[in-house]
Amino acid sequence: MSGARDPDRFEGFGPAEDSRFWETLSQWREAGLRFALLTVIESRGFTPQKRGAHMLVAADGTTFGTVGGGAIEREAVEEALGLLGSGGCTVLRRHLTQELGMCCGGEMTLFLEAIEPAPRMFVFGAGYIAKPLAALAAGCGFRVTVVDQRPEWAAPERFPTATVRCQAPEDFLRGLETGSGDYAVVVTHDHGLDQRLVQELLRRPLAFLGMIGSVPKQRKFALRLRARGFGDADIARLHTPLGLPIGASTPEEIAVSAMAEIVAARRGVPVREGWVPPTPRAEPEARDGKARERGRGVEETCSGTSGTGEAKVLVAENPTTEEGSRR
């Protein structure tokens, strides 16, 4: 019949209410809240809400919207709070009278999904690598903040997808409260500044800490950190040289390499074995003794021959020393 209303079709809250719902969802995400999105995906018979109704349930029990009130909503909220502890999604199907004792007499099916907050990434330094890295990170769902005290580099137009703070990184870090879900990348123009930032960041609970640099820089930093009281487990939290070995050369390629390692860490995918910080140099006498042992070993190796009559030569790995390209 023309103009007849489908009883199973939810017509929405009206433009104002519907707009407020999605604005609230956006605000909760911006605030970094963990919450669940509840949606009525099916209803039969007489029910307090129809297909398409939404509700938000925050981890602290705050709610917005409704899926009908009463027993069905109470159970849905309890289910949502439990879901926030484990993550993922689930389906809740209930007959309102037979299972919940409600008078409506219908049946409702709800889809519940845990919405995780977008992780924060702090990029210290606004140089050539930071620019493509910030863009890639934003595209991968991170809320990016770039920090650099140089106005010509920390320009908002260079980082349209990030928040830019033109401020001394150390000052910014002093006033920053970080959590276990945050990511930090150190890519400044100054090695001394890198060192100070890394020392402070290693004292904080972070999901990931990375630093652009060469293998020699990695070794020097490890020795300095140990001298300042950091243990090997703490030092090994620093991902450096940052990035996967893809032969990267340009700033954009290096950013892709770095972002690949960050995404792998976020998804819990092991991409390479953790590195062991180098031990301090031995005392002079011990070094001389080891050098003599190595010398004898080289003499013995070179004096012997393989089955083909060629001398065997052992060559140590030659680490890349170029600061801008390590991959």
**CATH number where 128 lies:** 3.40.50.720
Range 140-161 average pLDDT: 97
Range 109-137 average pLDDT: 95
pLDDT at 303 (0 to 100): 34
Q: Does residue 168 belong to any structural domain of this protein? A: yes
Judged against a pLDDT cut of 60, whether residue 158 lies above it is answered with yes
Residues 104 and 126 in one domain: no
Q: Which residues lie below 8 Å from residue 196, measured CB to CB, with a gap of 6+? A: 170
Q: Which residues lie below 8 Å from residue 291, measured CB to CB, with a gap of 6+? A: none
Query: 75-79, 162-166, 197-201, 305-309: which range is least confident on average?
Result: 305-309
Residues 134 and 35 in one domain: no
Judged against a pLDDT cut of 90, whether residue 38 lies above it is answered with yes
Q: What is the DSSP string of 196-232?
A: HHHHHHTTS--SEEEE---HHHHHHHHHHHHHTT--H
Range 142-158 average pLDDT: 97
SS3 of 148, please?
A: strand
Residues 104 and 32 in one domain: yes
Final residue of a structural domain among 60, 86, 115: 115
Identify the sign of the CA torsion 54, 58, 60, 64.
negative
Final residue of a structural domain among 266, 300, 317: 266
Residues 132 and 249 in one domain: yes
**110: which strand partners?**
40, 92
Whole-number Å distance between alpha carbons of 67 and 61: 15
| pLDDT-derived band at 308, boundaries 50, 70, 90 | very low
Q: What is the bridge-based pairing of β-strands 163-166 and 143-148? A: parallel
Largest Cα–Cα separation, the chain: 100
pLDDT at 281 (0 to 100): 60
Most confident of 132-136, 210-214, 215-219, 296-300: 132-136
- For 247-286, how does the pLDDT look when each residue is reduced to its tens digit (9 = 90+)? 999 999 999 999 999 999 999 998 876 566 666 565 555 4
Residues 133 and 245 in one domain: yes
Q: Does residue 314 belong to any structural domain of this protein? A: no
Residue where the block lists tokens 């040289």: 241
Q: State how many domains the chain has.
A: 2
Range 126-149 average pLDDT: 97
pTM given for the model? 0.68
pLDDT at 295 (0 to 100): 45
pLDDT at 184 (0 to 100): 98
Residue 166 neighbours by CB distance under 10 Å: 17
What is the span of the domain harbouring residue 67?
A: 15-115
Alpha helices in the chain (DSSP H): 15-30, 70-86, 130-139, 169-174, 191-201, 215-227, 232-235, 251-266, 284-303
Judged against a pLDDT cut of 60, whether residue 321 lies above it is answered with no
- For 57-80, how does the pLDDT look when each residue is reduced to its tens digit (9 = 90+)? 999 999 999 998 888 899 999 999
- For 170-184, how does the pLDDT look when each residue is reduced to its tens digit (9 = 90+)? 999 999 999 999 999
Final residue of a structural domain among 115, 135, 161: 115
Residue 156's alpha-carbon distances to 95, 134, 153, 252, 301, in angstroms, are: 54, 12, 9, 19, 60
